[in-house]
């Protein structure tokens, strides 16, 4: 199978970053240089660079060029994406560890978040999403069993909870809060971080047309993750 030119350029850039040849903040070849090197159109070279910028691998500085971005993984702050797709878009390997998948009784805060009564049964999952083998996100999720009855039957080693929920209960609304936290010992162990490392926690509730679908805590090591965004004002 022939690799498309823009994908070939992306692979070339990612390979040099991962090998350490191009370090953080190093300037990468321009569109014109890539056009000449790969014998492609400037539009093809621009597409490759743009997709890597959008994935957080590269960053542009107007008038200066395109550079290797900070090596922290970056997620868009104002959108909800499948973490497996985010990692793969950066050209990195994705893997997951499923730690818990069970039914529990809802505590008062969880019941309120899901629109249930305290003590009602809720589905509960804990996963660690990894990038290049390193834990990037600890996902603790509580799911409304009345809306998603088959949640526990899923194999989350092959698809993420977000991906599954988006298929069976398309997202209509989401609310989240973001805060810095000092992780507890269990979180430190699951994320393989030192006790002194701060984390970024995202609390997220999601709705479908039928009601509140899930309540999730997403915890990221501060040294491996950042949130970013781009706003255009007219």
Question: In this structure, are 27 and 94 located in the same domain?
Answer: no
Question: In this structure, are 129 and 164 located in the same domain?
Answer: yes
In terms of pTM, does the model score above 0.75? no
For position 178, what pLDDT does the model report? 87
Question: In this structure, are 149 and 221 located in the same domain?
Answer: yes
Question: In this structure, are 181 and 137 located in the same domain?
Answer: yes
From 45, 68, 91, the end of a domain falls on: 68
Task: Report yes or no on 233 lying in a domain.
Answer: no
Alpha carbon of residue 233 to chain centroid: 26
The string of pLDDT tens digits covering residues 3-14 is: 788 889 988 988
Question: In this structure, are 15 and 63 located in the same domain?
Answer: yes
Tokens, residue 72? 């922290």
Q: Give the orientation angle of helix 31-38 with respect to helix 42-54, to 10 degrees.
A: 120
Q: What gap in Å lies between CA 189 and CA 202, rounded to an integer?
A: 19
Tokens, residue 68? 């290797």
The structural domain count of the chain equals 2
The string of pLDDT tens digits covering residues 103-149 is: 999 999 999 889 889 999 999 999 999 999 999 999 999 999 999 99
Question: In this structure, are 89 and 61 located in the same domain?
Answer: no
Question: In this structure, are 183 and 92 located in the same domain?
Answer: yes
The three-state (H, E, C) secondary structure of the chain, written as one string: CCCCHHHHHHHHHHHHHHCCCCCCCCECCCHHHHHHHHCCCHHHHHHHHHHHHHCCCEEEECCCEEEECCCCEEEECCCCCCHHHHHHHCCCCEEEEEEEEEEEECCHHHHHHHCCCCCCEEEEEEEEEEECCEEEEEEEEEECCCCCCCHHHCCCCCCCHHHHHHHHCCCCEEEEEEEEECCCHHHHHHHCCCCCCCEEEEEEEEEECCEEEEEEEEEEECCCEEEECCCCCC
Task: Report yes or no on 163 lying in a domain.
Answer: yes
From 22, 44, 68, the end of a domain falls on: 68
Nearest to 97 by CA among 2, 191, 34: 191
Question: In this structure, are 106 and 147 located in the same domain?
Answer: yes
Q: What gap in Å lies between CA 218 and CA 203, rounded to an integer?
A: 6
From 30, 46, 68, the end of a domain falls on: 68
Residue 41's domain spans which residues?
5-68
What are the residues whose beta carbons fall under 8 Å from the beta carbon of 66, sequence distance 6 or more? 27, 28, 30, 49, 53, 58, 59, 60
For position 58, what pLDDT does the model report? 84
For position 78, what pLDDT does the model report? 45
Question: In this structure, are 121 and 215 located in the same domain?
Answer: yes
Question: In this structure, are 104 and 25 located in the same domain?
Answer: no
For position 147, what pLDDT does the model report? 94
For the chain, list residues with pLDDT below 70. 1-2, 70-80, 225-234
For position 79, what pLDDT does the model report? 53
Task: Report yes or no on 234 lying in a domain.
Answer: no
Task: Report yes or no on 209 lying in a domain.
Answer: yes
Question: In this structure, are 35 and 97 located in the same domain?
Answer: no
């Amino acid at each position: 199978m022939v690799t498309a030119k823009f994908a070939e350029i992306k692979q070339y850039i990612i390979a040099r970053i991962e090998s350490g040849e191009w370090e953080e903040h190093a300037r990468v070849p321009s569109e014109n240089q890539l056009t000449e090197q790969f014998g492609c159109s400037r539009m093809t070279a621009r597409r490759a660079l743009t997709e890597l910028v959008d994935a957080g691998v590269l960053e542009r500085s107007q008038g200066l060029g395109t550079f290797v971005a900070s090596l922290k993984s970056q997620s868009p702050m104002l959108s909800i994406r499948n973490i497996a797709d985010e990692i793969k878009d950066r050209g990195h390997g994705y893997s997951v560890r499923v730690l818990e998948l069970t039914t529990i009784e809802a505590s008062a805060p969880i019941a309120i978040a899901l629109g249930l009564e305290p003590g009602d049964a809720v589905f509960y999952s804990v996963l660690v999403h990894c990038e290049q083998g390193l834990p990037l996100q600890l996902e603790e999720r509580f799911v409304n069993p009345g809306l998603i009855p088959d949640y526990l039957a899923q194999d989350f080693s092959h698809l993420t909870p977000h991906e599954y929920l988006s298929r069976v209960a398309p997202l209509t609304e989401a609310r989240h809060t973001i805060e810095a936290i000092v992780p507890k010992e269990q979180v430190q162990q699951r994320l393989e971080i030192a006790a002194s490392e701060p984390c970024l926690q995202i609390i997220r509730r999601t709705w479908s047309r039928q009601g509140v679908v899930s309540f999730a805590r997403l915890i990221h090591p501060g040294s491996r993750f950042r949130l970013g965004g781009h706003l255009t004002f007219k």
